[in-house]
Amino acid sequence: MEFNIPLYAGIHKGQRRWLAEMIVRAGRTDFTQRAEVEWLMNQLDLFLAHHREHAELEQRFVHPRLSLIVPGGARAIEEEHEEHHEMLKDMIHSLDRIKGIPPDHPTLPLIGQDFYLALNRFVASYLMHIDYEESYVQNVLLNDSTAEEIMDIFQQILAAQPATSLRDNLTLMLAAMNVPEAVGLLTMAKGKLPQALYDDLTARAAQFIGPQRWTEIQAALGNH
């Protein structure tokens, strides 16, 4: 296989990083401060949109192969996708209501703590979900598919994404990867993406990741 990172690992690493940041920020949030609540709400809105797209791509391109190998094997995963959509929407609705509570309301800190716990329950559930995909589904696919079939799924996932979504998802992955993984991903991207999109990706990734880490990646690529 020309791309040696497993099908799920890169994007799931990016999701774990994103959710970990949300948990830390939620734990520090002063729910009497509207701007802090709006930051959380914006992040959940973004993650909901990302998750919808991510689940759709899995269901369009990965699950048909899984269902061929294990009849009915994708059903529980797709049900969990829907459950996670609803959990995210519920939390966004909760934050919208919190914004309307007067800052001096005596129970606002308790309501904020309840939101924090709900976010952690979602993350716990989601981490178990993606662990199952990586520890079970990934092995099923690899054991019963050729390298070319797995790469074909990966290429279909890349091709189905609008340019901005693909750029953002690859940036999310790069920010969570170690240097050898990032080099592998960028090498693959350089060979498969239009030059303008690759340049956009590297510019965005450099800004998102930070100069020190990006310099390490560029040095490993031989582009320093």
- Looking at the fold, whether 180 and 111 belong to one and the same domain comes out as no
Residues 113, 139: one domain?
yes
* Structural domains counted in the chain: 2
Q: Would the pLDDT of 45 be above 50?
A: yes
76 and 177 together in one domain: no
The reply to whether 181 and 99 lie within a common domain is no
Long-range contacts of 50-56 (CB under 8 A, 24+ apart): 50/15, 50/168, 50/169, 51/81, 51/84, 51/85, 51/88, 52/85, 53/161, 53/165, 54/11, 54/15, 55/81, 55/84, 55/85
pLDDT at 1: 38
pLDDT for position 223: 62
> Residue 61 is encoded by which pair of tokens?
């391109």
Domain identity same for 14 and 120: yes
Contacts of 27 (CB under 8 A, 6+ apart): 116
Same-domain check for residues 135 and 113: yes
Over residues 112-169, the pLDDT tens digits come to 999 999 999 999 999 999 999 999 999 999 999 998 999 899 889 999 999 999 999 9
Q: Determine phi and psi for 134, rounding to 5 degrees.
A: -80, -35
Final residue belonging to a domain, choices 160, 175, 192: 160
Domain that includes residue 170, residue range: 163-224
Per-residue pLDDT band for 4 (boundaries 50, 70, 90) equals very low
Q: Which long-range contacts (CB under 8 A, 24 or more apart) does 160-165 make?
A: 160/57, 160/60, 160/61, 161/53, 161/57, 163/197, 163/200, 165/53
Distance (Å, whole) CA 83 – CA 78: 9
Looking at the fold, whether 150 and 105 belong to one and the same domain comes out as yes
pTM of the full predicted structure?
0.92
Tell me: do 137 and 220 sit in the same domain: no
Residue 65: pLDDT over 70: yes
d(CA 200, CA 93): 34
167-216 tens-digit pLDDT: 999 999 999 999 999 999 999 899 889 999 999 999 999 999 988 999 99
pLDDT for residue 35: 96
Contact 7, 150 (CB under 8 A): yes
Same domain, 46 and 31: yes
39 & 104 share domain: yes
pLDDT at 3: 42
Structure tokens at 19: 């959710």
